[in-house]
Amino acid sequence: MAEFDMPTTYDPRAVEEKWYRYWEENKFFHTEVNEKQRPFSIVMPPPNVTGQLHMGHALDNTLQDILIRWRRMQGYNTLWLPGTDHAGIATQAKVEEQLAKEGLDKYDLGREKFLERVWAWKERYGGRITHQLRRLGASCDWDRERFTMDEGCSEAVKEVFIRLYEEGLIYRDNYIINWCPHCRTTISDIEVEHLEKPGQLYYIKYPTKDGTDALVIATTRPETMLGDVAVAVHPEDERYRHLVGKTLVLPLVGREMPVIADEYVDPSFGTGAVKITPAHDPNDFEVGRRHDLPQVRVINKDAVMEGEIPPAYRGLDRWECRKKIVRDLKEQGYLVKIEDLTHAVGHCYRCNTVIEPMLSRQWFVRMKPLAAPAVRAALEGQVRFIPERFTKIYLNWMENIRDWCISRQLWWGHRIPVWYCRDCEEVMAAKEPPEKCTRCGSSHLEQDPDVLDTWFSSALWPFSTLGWPEKTAELSYYYPTSVLVTGRDIIFFWVARMIFSGLHFMKQVPFREVFIHGLVLDALGRKMSKSLGNGVDPIDVIESHGADSLRFMLVTGNTPGNDLRFHFERLDGARNFANKIWNASRFALMNLQDYDPAVAPGREHHTLADRWILSRYQACVREVTDFMEAYELGEAARVLYEFIWSEFCDWYIELVKPRLYRGEDARDRACAQDVLATVLRGIMELLHPFMPFITEEIWQRLPHEGRTIMQAPWPAYRPELRDEGAEGQMAVLMEVIRSIRHIRGEMNVPPGKTARVILVAADGNVRDLLQVGNGYIQDLARCRVQIRGELTRVPPQSAHGVARGVEIYVPLAGLIDIDREVARLQKELAAVEKDLARVRGKLKNEGFLAKAPAEVVEKEREKGEELSGKASAIRQRLAVLGG
């Protein structure tokens, strides 16, 4: 062994920077196709190129790294493929913000120059999050890093678009889309966040043309009435059957429109009569198509009123228009009443602007034919969701899926590969710009100005990143990937789209399993957000506590699919765990300087404590491995924590110290060293996927084979080392030691004093065990032990305990100043009884019970029970001391 130079305290920053550089420089993360090895592959959910690491990223990538490091150690040929997403809306917004500071907008630059600015921004800032992932310890194959707009991925996007177009699965049509007036683009249905907001329900009277009757409708958006073309009622609603087919006159506008019957109408909502505005409501759009109604657009892309409407409303913002319409309806006698209500309002998931449903000519993917195989894949087990409950959520969405609007009114992104002939209006989809129109031969061609939805390219991620549409060796070897690790919030955004894309183009699912995790919430259970100011920066945490502590905190207590609350106390606990490992390892390594594995004694020389820790270590190996296989990573971390902290550090190291210190028997010391080194090295290897930095630092200081712990074999379960007899025997001895320690603490025995302890066991086997473990008891409980089969007379002033059938007596005379201890306990009892009387008085006070909140009363009851138990324990101690 080298000269001992291990620092007394653990410095995560120095260790983490050193080892990550070593791993990356030596390309330990890199992999090549090897048909002789079994592959295990993960594609990283690509974070936005605009982004920086947040706690959701930290959790997601920690879980992926744990799986990759574990499988790598198991001998798999592992590929963790990293990359970033071009994030169309977010990235364009960043650059437009920069331009605004210069007094410019994108139109001042033009499309080509604007895109040059975006690419420059990406080159400058786009690597920030990948550098932060390195700080976290992500063992990605950075040599294979991809970007959704790199040459290969762009080629895949064009290939997919053209194939789907030629198959009739991509089409262009006028359709209701979700328009964000702030981002000035369409967003898909699943990018709309429906937030509960206070609002009003306006009841408006629509008179019949002949003036003999009227229908009262209820709406939350009176400004859209300017685009009304009908009023619908349910066909079985007796209240309105006589009005179906009649003509109404639209208030304020004068437009004549019919009363129609449609089963879409909910007779129990409002009045049971619904205004139909096909150009500004998705449900009304479908009703309008069924009844061949006109589409009257009255709100433009700036959310400003326009079109065939009274001049008084033209040019008004939608909210100002609402106020004016309500005033005018009231003045003209059409407003019946207004009711307050709370309802779901669609917001842009990026900027939180209220979405405006709008009729627009857009590109769509026809989803039903693509969704059907993706549904079958989940039902037949081709792809498995973990936890299983997410299968139902996935299926429900896929079975009720609507066509996907894929065009976005942006400049940054994959431009739609479609050209239009300005002479004959022919539409041509092609990878490269056509020289002339395929129908009329004209060269007056114009490319569609829109780009594709960002999710269109990321839907191809599992195979586009491996070289598709080329038939690469990587694609053949690593696809389908092994598992996708992702948050529950993007099952629809991304997971479903990857599944139907993989099935359609690769004829196989893109991954065998989908490991779903929850969100990282703040301590109060709220989503972390800028608006709430409750976010926690993972890099700040890494600076203060170290990456290993952050990783371990995120995984412990984490169950698949469930949200996780971030508590700084838990983070401190993880750091304490790292320090505990460091201190225990430092002690072990300090005592291993003369250790030679080649001359270590055999198993026949193992003591009871050796056999116990080796057996418990094997149990730990088995449990951790089983939990990992089941994706119960939090449970695996819990098992490791309990074994390392309690059994190894608190017990075995204490048990082995005398054999290392006394040096009376060289063979015994060598045996203790061998077990200590073996178990410590195994602990580092089991813990490595969770805490990669500290484990590498310690493992490198232990006797080992290989250049890095990353390449060490995952510990194998060895049933021949399980020794249930040793485990049972040690359980008895440990309980006896705990009981003696408890008595010493309860009776205030000074830590430095050696106590006399009498152990009484009627069972001869137990007496033999106590004799074998006598040294352990004496060393760890600081006592001199007498072992007896029976006791004829209890020693006076003895504290008493029972542990696993062993009676324990600790004579206190000479150990403590009994008179002083009696006086102290009497004083303590008086104080406790005074507090108890006060609490009991409160609980008998009818006024307090009537006025105090239930939780306050309950706390007082709990306090009373606690004080009562404390008083009882003190009296028992006084009885022992004769007080």
Determine the Cα angle at 584 with ends 583 and 586, to 5°: 65
Is residue 803 a contact partner of residue 730, using CB atoms and an 8 Å limit? no
**Burial per residue of 549-570, b for 16 or more beta-carbon CB atoms within 10 angstroms, e otherwise:** bbbbbbbbebebbeebebeeeb
Residue 621 main-chain phi, psi, to 5 deg: -55, -45
Residues with Cβ within 8 Å of residue 187, at least 6 apart in sequence? 89, 178, 179, 180, 348, 349, 350, 355, 408
Is residue 682 a contact partner of residue 617, using CB atoms and an 8 Å limit? yes
Determine the Cα angle at 391 with ends 389 and 396, to 5°: 110
What DSSP designation does 491 have? I
**Crossing angle for the helix pair 692-701 and 547-555, to the nearest 10 degrees:** 120
CA distance linking residue 516 with residue 63, whole number of Å = 10
CA distance linking residue 284 with residue 228, whole number of Å = 10
- Cβ count near 405 (within 10 Å): 21
CA distance linking residue 656 with residue 650, whole number of Å = 11
Element (H, E) at 399: helix 389-399
Q: Among all chains, which residue has been given the structure tokens 């065998």?
A: 512
Instruction: Give Cα 650 to chain centroid, integer Å.
Output: 32
Question: Is the backbone of residue 366 left (phi > 0), alpha (psi -120 to 50) or beta?
Answer: beta
Residues with Cβ within 8 Å of residue 162, at least 6 apart in sequence? 417, 429, 430, 431
CA distance linking residue 135 with residue 745, whole number of Å = 44
- Find out whether 436 is annotated in a ligand binding site: no
**Crossing angle for the helix pair 55-73 and 128-136, to the nearest 10 degrees:** 60
Amino acid at 120: A
Residues with Cβ within 8 Å of residue 725, at least 6 apart in sequence? none
- Cβ count near 591 (within 10 Å): 21
Instruction: Could you list the residues known to form a binding site, using ranges.
Output: 530
Instruction: Could you list the residues known to form a binding site for ATP, using ranges.
Output: 530
